[in-house]
Structure formats: structure tokens, C-alpha cells
Amino acid sequence: MPEGWRGYPAVKYVSSEDEEECEDKKMDAKEYYLSKPWVKHYPEGATFEVDIPQGMSVPDMIDNAVKLYSKKTALIFYGREISYAEIKERIDRFATALADLGLKKGDTVALYLLNCPQYVIAYFATLKLGAKVTPISPVYTSHEIKHQLEDSDATFLVCQDILYDNAERSGVKMKHVIVTSVLEYLPKMKKLLGKSLLGKDYANLHVPTREEKAQKGLVDFEELIKKYPPNPPKVDIDPKKDIAALPYTGGTTGLPKAAVLTHYNMVSIVHQVKKLWPFLEDGKEVGIAFLPFFHIYGQVVAMLNGLARGFTGVLFTTPDIDEILDAMEKYKASTFNGVPTMFEFLKEYEKTYRVNWKNVKLIGCGADTLHESTVEAWERRTGSKIHEGYGMTETTGVSHSNPYQKTKRNSFGVPIPGVRAAIVEYEGTKYMPVGEVGEMILNGPNIMQAYWKRPEETKQSLIDIDGEKWLRTGDIVSMDEDGYFHFFDRKRDLIKFKGYSVFARHVEEVLYKHPQIKAAGVVGVPDPKVGNIIKAYVVLESEARGKISEEDIINFCTENLAHYKVPKIIEFRGELPKTDVGKVSRRELREEGEAC
């Protein structure tokens, strides 16, 4: 039997004579999962039960925040401060304009925007009319844009002017295309810097001229805001039935698909997160909003949760490290949510000291696995804790988090209030004994309704257990006796080598411990004799390039891994392909390996 890793149990194979005893353990396991052992780790005053307002839509939630905090600053955009009252007025003006242009309840509006105030305005104006949004990644190709526009049935497109050419190349005809510039909401002094604020990826893109806009029938965002009054039509919204958003998954297998999220899903997640973090005070917190709003993490944690609770969001179109650090000090940020690559960079960055991280109430990390080496270096450097969490598009962005000041290394934490979690066999619904590895399933008010226009995939992912809907996450996970959950890998990233199950992430974790390895990605390359050959793509630190060989890396792995986990192929790269939120893209590496 393969040994465990870092003290975690390995995948176990049960012989027939042990099946009866194993079944008894699984019955005990079911009761243990359902007993929610994680609740004892919640902050004082937090309970599993969440009081979710019935009949409340997302626009209701935002309007309530405006009533309480109308004079408070909602957004700070490169020094430009926008109050809750001003943002509501612009939301209402834009909603009035959309209605006049023919947007109806149930329609879909695609948002192809960088982080900017217009994103917030367009997002909540769309929802106010009972329509739904589908956010598009700014780094998508025209082919990917075409798929999402057509699949989501989008009829309106709100687009950054610098991204319009790429959208046009998709060839999809919209009823209306509304374009806007990042420069519109910048302070006068920042406007002089122009597109240099956008970073190298966007600074040199073409901006349609006034003549081109007229010729192509494009509508100007700010002209609509100025033209229409803040009097949108009243639309009845059924929070549990009406769709608020169609965010698309990353498309790790095949084309991306959308999770159907209702108003109720989104209202629920705000109240669930609030219950877990009672020390974050409504109307008093300041957060740094550099996470992209097109991604469910930034969309829910930074934008939706922040505005619904009266926080101030310091908004960035692109994650400029120096500007982020300056803003944290200038505005006394009390929350900071990032991704592992950000913390990996900051732990060694010379200017990280500018921020007294001990004064930041909550430092959160999600969207990818946080490596142990990053955590150790961060804590030594800053004296503060990173609270790792877990979420999916299908869970409205969040399902787990390490409780405040009760972080556990190598764990993404415990289920948030309202969420139940368990581990079952990879196939079927039998519960795995506590501490053993299987597929994580989730149940809660934040779980999606379905995959948009994908009945078969919905049927595979949303399963019925004892009359309740559970989501199969596709993640290989274990739960310890304290109720903390530990990630092993995605099911699709499990490598089969000579009958052994090898977790790609485990091999990567060891590679990251090598002092001269900057980044790594591990995949299985199909081989008829052994199933999969383990291949590691490695980026060395600049000073080590040409000095460390493939054999050196294999020898390092041999000293730190069981023989069957040691990569047989090492390929050095200058950089690795990344997803649009900074993860190493194993999908692209797999495709490269299979093509060889």
C-alpha cells in the first residue's frame, strides 16, 4: 500500500475480507461528517445556522447598504473616491438606459471589462432589471469570447474600449455593444498617465475613435449615464428562481461551462461569510480589490461582499505591487485577499515591509493551493497569518476557510456556516472513513442550481443523497478528526503509474522545497507500458539556470519522494503557462505532453 504524504493517509485499496468492517466505518463516518465537527472552531458567537433573508434580491441588498452608508466611500479608483450614493445613482441611471435600449428580465448581459467603476455599475444595473450577467475574462481570445457570448445567449455587451477589437473578431452580433474607457473615472492627474496605468498587456491596444464608434453603431457608456435619469422600472425578482449570474468555469476539460447562480445563492454567500467573520464590521472595513471581477473570487469576495456590507474597496485594474502596497498604508486596509502567486512574490519582495501586516484584520488566500514553503516564509517575514480558503464557481466562490487565528498548515480550513461537507468514494456515494481520501461533496444554500444548458453534466455533478442535493466537486480531499479539510488534487490531475495513484500536487510541493526552483508543474504523460510517466516542468531561479541539471532535480526528488512518485522526465522552461488567475495551467502542460 502506498505510504501517506506529510502525515496524510494515502489512497487505500480494500480487500474483500475487509469490506464488512469497512462498511461499518463508513456508516460511522457518515454520522461524523453530518455532526459537523468543524463548528467548534468557529469564532465566538458564530454558529452553523445562517439567517438568510427570504425574498431579498441582490439589488435589494445593495440598496439597503446605500441607505445605511450613502455618504461613505464605496470605491476608490486611483485616488478618485465614489460614495455609495453616487454609485447607486449611476447604477440606476444605467439600468434606466438598458431598459430603454430593450433589455428585459431574463436577458443576458456580457461584461468584457477590466476592474473599474463601470464594472460595478453595469453588474448591478443589469441585476436590477432582472437580467443576468456573464463575466468574460479580458485575456480571452476571440474564439473563447465567441463561445461564451453564444452559449450564454448574451444580447448586450458592455466592453472596455481597448478590448473591443477582440470582441468584434468573435463575429457574434449583439443587439447593443456599449463601450467605455478606464480613463473616465480617473482623477485629472491620473488621466494624464493615460493607458500606462493598464500595464503592458493592455497599454498598446487600439481605442475606437468617435467616428469608428458611430460607424459600428457602438453606444458610449458615459453618454448613457448623462442622458438617462435614475428611474429604472420596477421588476419583480424571485430570488430562488431568477438567475443573477452565469460565471464560466475554467474549461479544464473541453469548452468552459457556466454555473447557474441565483439571487438567493448570492445573498446567501454574503450572509454565510459574514457569519464566519463577525469581527469584520459593516460600514467600517477597507479592502484592496485587485482580484479580477470576472473571476468568481474577485466578483464575490471583493465586489459583492464588500458593497453589500458597506466596505470601501480600493480598486485596481491590474495588480501593480507597488501601488497596492502604497494603497494599503494610505487607506489603512483592514482586509487583503490574494492568490498564492501573489504571496509567493510578496514574501521576498523588498518593499513588502511597507505594510504592517499584523494590523490587517484578515489576510485571505484562495483560487489555488498555498504551498507550505510560501506560508513559512510569509510568517517569518511579516509575523502574520494567511487564512487559506477554498471555493468554486459552483459554490458562489466560497465554501471553506481557515477560522480566524485557528489556521492549520496544509489545510484549506473548515466549511463556512451553512455548508455541509463530506468525503465519498470517487464513484458512487459511499462515505469514506474520516482521515481517508476521496471526493469531496458539498451541500448548502450557496451551491449552484445547474450547469447552464448542460443537463448531463448537471446530472453527474449534482447528486441526490437521502433526498438532498449535493455537489460533487471533482476534488480529491480528506477531512481530519478536527473537521479541517486537506486538498490532494483534482480527480483529473491524478496520475496513474504502474497501478500507483500519484498526486501531481504532492510532487510539486517537494519541487517547491528546492531552493533554486521558482515554479513547477507536474503532469502524467500517457504511456502504454506504465499508464502515465510523471513529467515535471520546472522554472529555475535566474542564478541557477545552466548550473542545475535534470539529473540534479531527479536526485532531489529521489531523496524526498517514494520511488514511484519521482518524475522520470524533467523539462526546464523560462516560464509556465498560467490560467487567468495565476495558477499554473496543468491542462496546457498535459496537452503539450500528449502532443509529443
Domains of the chain: 84-259 (3.40.50.980), 498-595 (3.30.300.30)
Q: In sequence order, what are the beta bridge partners of 157? A: 110, 177
pLDDT digits (tens, 9 = 90+) for 555-571: 999 998 888 889 999 99
Structure confidence at residue 193 (pLDDT): 61
Strands 414-415 and 400-401 turn out to be: antiparallel
Cell of 45: 458567537
Where residue 252 falls among pLDDT bands split at 50, 70, 90? very low
pTM (two decimals):
0.84
Nearest Cα neighbor of 273 from 360, 375, 362 is: 362
Rounded mean pLDDT of the chain? 89
Q: CA-to-CA distance for 181 and 160, rounded, in angstroms?
A: 6
CA 47 → CA 73, 99, 417, 482, 583, distances in Å?
31, 42, 7, 16, 33
Cell numbers given for 430 = 459511499
- 499: pLDDT confidence band, cut at 50, 70 and 90? low
Tell me the average pLDDT across 294-318: 95
Q: Is the pLDDT of residue 2 over 50?
A: no
* CA 477 – CA 43 distance, rounded (Å): 24
Query: Does 11 score more than 50 pLDDT?
Result: no
Please tell me which residue, 67 or 143, carries the higher pLDDT value. 67
CB 547 within 8 A of CB 520: no
3-state secondary structure of 195: helix
